Homo-oligomer: A and B are copies of this chain.
Amino acid sequence: MRAELELAVRYYETDQMGIVHHSNYIRYFECGRSDMMAKYGLPIERIEAEGVMLPVVAVECRYRKSAVMGDTVRIVSRIDKVPLAKLVVRNEVYNQRGELLADGSVTLGFIDAETRHPVRCPEKLAAVIRASMETDGKDTDSTVGKNI
């Protein structure tokens, strides 16, 4: 499963160093994975509506270059493994010149929205990821969609 999302840097994302504040890359990662899930037909808010929430259990990010106002970042998101108890999403963020700005990963858990106890990955989500892996192997062009 893989998707790309382009986002214009927002003024409020900059800090007094004149660059995008580092915390916003963690948010870019989130934008990327929300968009990826929506493109594969299973938006995160639908999984939530069906009673499972996906809290983040770990993040890591390495910062290579800075984004500045006027830049458009391209966020690549990727899931390489069908999850059991944890879902790992890998992300890279590039600028409009193709330079790598940051990369990292986010690990999500699954909890029951009512009891807040850990649960297994919903079968619907596992199925979508499994299916995407078969498709991705055959048709890598399928991964670039319409972004807003």
- Residues of A at the B interface (CB closer than 8 Å) are 6-8, 10-12, 14-19, 21-24, 26-27, 30-31, 34-35, 38, 43-45, 48, 53, 55-63, 66, 68-70, 72, 147-148
A68 contact set on B, CB distance < 8 A? 45
13 contacts between A and B (CB under 8 A): A7-B148, A8-B31, A11-B16, A11-B34, A14-B16, A16-B48, A17-B48, A22-B55, A23-B26, A45-B68, A55-B63, A59-B61, A148-B148
Given the complex of chains A and B, what is the CA–CA distance between A12 and B31 in angstroms? Answer: 9
Measured CB to CB, the closest approach of chain B to A11, in angstroms, equals: 6
A53 contact set on B, CB distance < 8 A? 17
A16 contact set on B, CB distance < 8 A? 11, 14-16, 18-19, 45, 48, 69
Contact across chains for A56 and B26 when beta carbons are under 8 A apart? no
Given the complex of chains A and B, what is the CA–CA distance between A70 and B34 in angstroms? Answer: 9
Given the complex of chains A and B, what is the CA–CA distance between A148 and B21 in angstroms? Answer: 20
